[in-house]
Amino acid sequence: MKNMEKKVLSGKNYIGNSLEATGDTIFHTFNPRINNWNKTDFIEATELEVEKTIQLAHTAFQKMHKIGGPQRASFLLAIVEGMEARKKAILVHYCSETGLSEERCLTELNRTLFQLRSFAELILTESWRNPSIDLANPEAKPPSPDIRKTRIPLGPIVLFGASNFPLAYSTAGGDTAAALASGNAVIVKSHPMHAGTGEVVASAIIEAAIKTGMPEGVFSNLNAKGFEVGKQLVTHPLIKSVGFTGSIRGGTSLIKLANQRKEPIPVFAEMGSVNPVVLLPKMLEEEMDKWSTHISDSIMAGTGQFCTSPGLIFMLKNDTSTTFIQQLETKLMDYESSCMLHPNIYDQFERLKNERSINCALTEKEGALPPNFARQTIAHVSGAKYLQDHSLQEEVFGPFTLVVKFNTVNELLQGISQLNGQLTGTIIGTTEELQENSSVFLNLQNKVGRLVLNGVPTGVTVCPSMHHGGPFPSSSDSQFTAVGIDSILRFTRPVCFQNVPDDLLPLELKNINRCKIQRRVNGLFSGDSFG
């Protein structure tokens, strides 16, 4: 494993197509499973290197408008090929930088490749731009002009990935796929905890860019272990948007930086969430065993290090809920504990758990554990106490859930109305209970991006109808999804052409419908040509 690491990695930055590193700030990734540092020296990008990268991205972006959908699609498919060819190296670095299993790596890799393929298919036609045409009407009073609308890319985009998805939400993850698919240039600020995985994936992207004739600078990958590189990127006037997946603290600092610029820019931040689960009593009476298994599995998935982990459970105080929680605790404590991604994440888990112990009773996994292994924990608090302490709904990233027992449905509704914005909300109940408690459904719907009925929040299906992004602070803009092909809309903006002659219009807006797509013409969808 160590040999492979030495052979494949340079520790340098991809500045456009070349590997460069003139800086002297060195850092290492960490293997939490063996509690030791990995060998490769990663070299943080210098201020000059960051500037050079931005200039390259700016120039590349200006050339990208000449590169049509099919060529960009070939680029994405060539990334898939390159990543498949590097599967072994990806596996080695992914596992040694995260402590996650090979099985998990392969699942995430497949998902990442699926995302890239989906965007490649999407951009073969121009339908994704939602073209809309309102033909001139000289007879109208007053006469109306010819107005046509499409979407165009934003410009060079800076992307930050999260520690817990080194592939699917990182270097070639959903944000990168969406931003490249729509014709942007991308600079990834590599996650310092999986910089090696990042470099291997970046090499596949660069190889694909060269192979498919993309301009140099369409993609770069910069190493950094501190905030300075990220700050320089986000505040640079040539950067036009930011994509971020990570903690609420990280996301809100970047939003602040972007808003303080002379020209504020959009930051699409996908942040933390506690994903409340409301358990109604009749369903628990009927299917207690099933739901205690599903929920404990969901809490433990990925050692609780998923943005959709169920971190908060709302119940009514009664005998059924007492028995259910006893069962849930037994099942949860039966799991073998597992290691967290990094000692920093483990330390933060421990710190937040200790903070919770001031106001809540904790039940934790017992016995000796190796370093970096998380003790799964259930915390308990009364509805009354919970309603008084807003900090109790903050994310404890790891295998942790807080059970809140309310005395009445009204108290439970108050708990829901006090919730911050969430990625998901779940209700488990019988059809009858759901009808009787329709206000629970309606109130929870207003707080979340995805409402799950009789299921668990973990496991985000990648499909066009998925919405992954809820009201603030789970996301910075609840109108957009970070998962699925609609996520392409984030890195584009509408532009409207008024009285522009046909030869100057983009393909999807021309009179002759060469793309053979449905367009909205005078308000109705049609595949017709005209003029």
> Are 218 and 68 spatial neighbours (Cβ–Cβ below 8 Å)?
no
Contacting range for ligand NAP; rule: CB under 6 A; set: 60-68, 242-250, 367-375, 444-452 = 242-250
Contacting range for ligand NAP; rule: CB under 6 A; set: 151-159, 248-256, 318-326, 369-377 = 248-256
Q: Is 521 in the site for ligand NAP (CB under 6 A)?
A: no
User: Residue 51 CB, nearest distance to ligand NAP (Å)?
Assistant: 17
- Of the two residues 11 and 230, which places its CB atom closer to ligand NAP in the complex? 230
Q: Is 27 in the site for ligand NAP (CB under 6 A)?
A: no
Secondary structure (3-state) at 464 = coil
Can you tell me the distance from the alpha carbon of 396 to that of 388, in angstroms, rounded to the nearest whole number? 19
Q: Is 458 in the site for ligand NAP (CB under 6 A)?
A: no
> Are 313 and 279 spatial neighbours (Cβ–Cβ below 8 Å)?
yes
* Per-residue DSSP letter, 318: S
Q: Of these, 27, 30, 119, 169, which contacts ligand NAP (CB under 6 A)?
A: 169
Q: Counting every residue, how long is the chain?
A: 531
Which residues lie closer than 8 Å to 81 by C-beta, 6 or more apart? 208
- Which of positions 300-329 make contact with ligand NAP (CB under 6 A)? 307
- Of the two residues 244 and 314, which places its CB atom closer to ligand NAP in the complex? 244
Element (H, E) at 64: helix 47-64
Contacting range for ligand NAP; rule: CB under 6 A; set: 94-102, 222-230, 315-323, 433-441 = 222-230
Burial of 171 (0-12, 13-18, 19+ CB in 10 A): buried
Q: Is 266 in the site for ligand NAP (CB under 6 A)?
A: no
- Of the two residues 227 and 335, which places its CB atom closer to ligand NAP in the complex? 227
Closest by CA position to 314, among listed 244, 377, 389, 406: 406
- Any alpha helices (H) in 87-158, and if so which ranges? 87-98, 102-122
- Of the two residues 246 and 276, which places its CB atom closer to ligand NAP in the complex? 246
Residues binding ligand NAP: number (CB under 6 A): 30
User: Residue 161 CB, nearest distance to ligand NAP (Å)?
Assistant: 6
Tokens of 58: 């700016």
Q: Of these, 15, 423, 440, 444, which contacts ligand NAP (CB under 6 A)?
A: 423
Q: Of these, 315, 482, 485, 509, which contacts ligand NAP (CB under 6 A)?
A: 482
Residues with catalytic roles: 270, 307
Residue whose tokens read 């059924």 = 320
Site string for ligand NAP, 377-416 (x = CB under 6 A): ------------------x-x-------------------
- Of the two residues 82 and 250, which places its CB atom closer to ligand NAP in the complex? 250
**In this structure, how many other beta carbons lie within 10 angstroms of the beta carbon of residue 361?**
12
Can you tell me the distance from the alpha carbon of 95 to that of 89, in angstroms, rounded to the nearest whole number? 10
Can you tell me the distance from the alpha carbon of 279 to that of 195, in angstroms, rounded to the nearest whole number? 40
Contacting range for ligand NAP; rule: CB under 6 A; set: 109-117, 129-137, 149-157, 223-231 = 223-231
Q: Is 338 in the site for ligand NAP (CB under 6 A)?
A: no
Type of residue at 498: Q
- Of the two residues 224 and 413, which places its CB atom closer to ligand NAP in the complex? 224
> Are 78 and 211 spatial neighbours (Cβ–Cβ below 8 Å)?
yes
Task: Tell whether the torsion through CA atoms of 299, 301, 305 and 306 is positive or negative.
Answer: negative
Query: In whole angstroms, what separates CA 382 from the centre of its chain?
Result: 33
> Are 21 and 3 spatial neighbours (Cβ–Cβ below 8 Å)?
no
User: Residue 167 CB, nearest distance to ligand NAP (Å)?
Assistant: 12
Q: Is 164 in the site for ligand NAP (CB under 6 A)?
A: yes
Q: Is 225 in the site for ligand NAP (CB under 6 A)?
A: yes
Q: Of these, 196, 250, 473, 506, which contacts ligand NAP (CB under 6 A)?
A: 250
Closest by CA position to 459, among listed 176, 111, 71: 111
- Of the two residues 170 and 492, which places its CB atom closer to ligand NAP in the complex? 170
Can you tell me the distance from the alpha carbon of 281 to that of 288, in angstroms, rounded to the nearest whole number? 9
Is the preceding peptide bond at 506 cis, omega within 30 degrees of 0? no
Contacting range for ligand NAP; rule: CB under 6 A; set: 31-39, 247-255, 328-336, 498-506 = 247-255
Q: Is 132 in the site for ligand NAP (CB under 6 A)?
A: no
Contacting range for ligand NAP; rule: CB under 6 A; set: 109-117, 142-150, 220-228, 428-436 = 220-228
Report how far apart, in Å, the C-alpha atoms of 512 and of each of 127, 497, 517, 531 are: 15, 16, 11, 8
SS3 per residue for 238-282: CCCEEEEECCHHHHHHHHHHHHHCCCCCCEEEECCCCCCEEECHH
User: Residue 251 CB, nearest distance to ligand NAP (Å)?
Assistant: 7
- Of the two residues 188 and 332, which places its CB atom closer to ligand NAP in the complex? 188
- Which of positions 46-85 make contact with ligand NAP (CB under 6 A)? none
- Of the two residues 253 and 492, which places its CB atom closer to ligand NAP in the complex? 253
Can you tell me the distance from the alpha carbon of 125 to that of 445, in angstroms, rounded to the nearest whole number? 34
Q: Is 245 in the site for ligand NAP (CB under 6 A)?
A: yes
Q: Of these, 179, 271, 378, 466, which contacts ligand NAP (CB under 6 A)?
A: 271
The residues with which 382 forms a beta bridge, in sequence order, are: 405
- Of the two residues 427 and 482, which places its CB atom closer to ligand NAP in the complex? 482
User: Which residue ranges make up the site for ligand NAP (CB under 6 A)?
Assistant: 160, 162-165, 169, 189, 191-192, 224-227, 230-231, 245-247, 250, 253-254, 270-272, 307, 395, 397, 423, 468, 482
